[in-house]
Amino acid sequence: MHSFNLSQTLTHLNLDVPSFRPVARAYIQDVTEFVAGVTRAAERLDFPAIAESARALKRVASVIRADELARLADQLEASAQTEDTESTAQVLGQLHHENRDVTAVLRTVAGYE
């Protein structure tokens, strides 16, 4: 079961599916870059970069009402700010999983699948 609710997002943004397609495509492009950036930063243990990428991801996820993804990005930012390696790794794993779920829904809406 997905935590991302497309119907709520469409209602919140006052859009129908065809009107939402460009938003979904832009989100997929942006979030792919943010997740790749946060992953690279985590590999280097670059906590300021992790926090910065997590903040950007949180903003983008909030726009489309991907609330669980935004919550995880917020947790990741907090873990990075305290330089908690263990928590950062744990939350990053959860974030990757949630992002896959959200992106799968959006790829369908965007017409990629």
Architecture of domain 16-109: Up-down Bundle (1.20)
Q: Is the pTM of this model over 0.85?
A: yes
Contact 70, 6 (CB under 8 A): no
Q: What is the pLDDT of residues 74-99, one digit of tens each?
A: 999 999 999 999 999 999 999 999 99
Contact 49, 41 (CB under 8 A): yes
Dump the DSSP string for 38-102: HHHHHHHT-HHHHHHHHHHHHHHHHHTT-HHHHHHHHHHHHHHHTT-HHHHHHHHHHHHHHHHHH
Q: What is the pLDDT of residues 32-76, one digit of tens each?
A: 888 898 999 999 999 999 999 999 999 999 999 999 999 999 999
CB atoms within 10 A of CB 18: 9
Distance, in Å, from the CA atom of 73 to the CA atom of 55, rounded to the nearest integer, reads: 7
